[in-house]
Amino acid sequence: MGVPAMATVAVPAYNCASTILPALESIEASIAYLKALRGPLSLVEVVVVDDGSTDSTPDLVGEFALTRPHVKLLSQANKGPGAARNAAVLAGTAPVVMYLDGDDLIFPAHIAVCLDLLEAYPEAGFAKTGVRLDESVHPDWKIGIANSIVINCAVRREVHDFIGGFFEDAPFKALHAEDALYSALLMTFFTQVHSKLETVHHLVYPGNAFDRQRAKFTAPPQAGLEAMTSTEKEAEPEVMRIYEERRQALAAKPLEGTWFGPPVNQQGPRLILGD
């Protein structure tokens, strides 16, 4: 029997041939950092889900994985990043799940910091870290971005399963709301441990999620909301209806699994500062 993985890094990838290898190399550097601290048996599995790319993304990942048995490539028809992340988590085995998009980076300390936080605070269902942003983001948006994205997040598998994973409904893809409302469910039902250390780099490339929302994030919140496209405005009511339906269903759901942390924050969201 092999040594079990400590963490699964789920990587959704769609037409990111120009950025996927730096993203994967950043994970490799973080794994090396972890092993230097904890020893060579500190294993991390990486699951990349190609979400119907039409460029060379799957070929590049496949070649990358040839010499790295801890890296797995799965392929599916284009369903959006939420569905791709869910597929990656399902294919993984580790008790802790982390995320990296195919066009972002993690810094070497990221995996170790996240594992340290969850081990130091067993009552926490998930951990979040600081985010480096290149783009000139309006100050009022910075905290919101860090709270809503998931590349700076490490989640206990039972917690991911409890909230039902990421939303895969079409309106969420149209609104680019999969990350934000996944994070909202985490914060609603579980305690967060947070480190202000910046361990991830959220980058801007032409056409990526951050770039598509550039007008919103560089303006004050109210003006940014007015910059929503007509498609996004049409999707928002249905997104909120589906979200609220799931939130209410989760309120009465028991937590199942091997982690015995508190399943529901009875007093509302709780934040532990881990540094």
pTM: 0.89
CATH of segment(s) 7-254: 3.90.550.10
pLDDT at 212: 47
Of residues 87, 94, 83, the one with CA closest to residue 73: 87
Find the radius of gyration of the CA atoms of the chain.
18
- Is residue 255 scored above 60 in pLDDT? yes
Q: Which two three-digit tokens encode residue 65?
A: 């994985």
pLDDT at 121: 93
- Is residue 3 scored above 90 in pLDDT? no
pLDDT at 264: 56
pLDDT at 240: 94
- The domain ranges of the chain are 7-254
Residue 175: band (very low, low, confident or very high) from pLDDT cuts 50, 70, 90: confident
Tens digits of residue pLDDT in 198-243: 999 998 654 545 544 545 555 445 555 556 778 888 889 999 999 9
Region 76-99: mean pLDDT is: 97
Residue 176: band (very low, low, confident or very high) from pLDDT cuts 50, 70, 90: confident
Neighbour-count burial of 20, counting CB atoms closer than 10 A to its CB (0-12 exposed, 13-18 middle, 19+ buried)? buried
Amino acid at 20: I
What lies within 8 Å, CB to CB, of 4 at 6+ separation is: 43, 93, 94
- Is residue 254 scored above 90 in pLDDT? no
Q: Which two three-digit tokens encode residue 33?
A: 């950092």
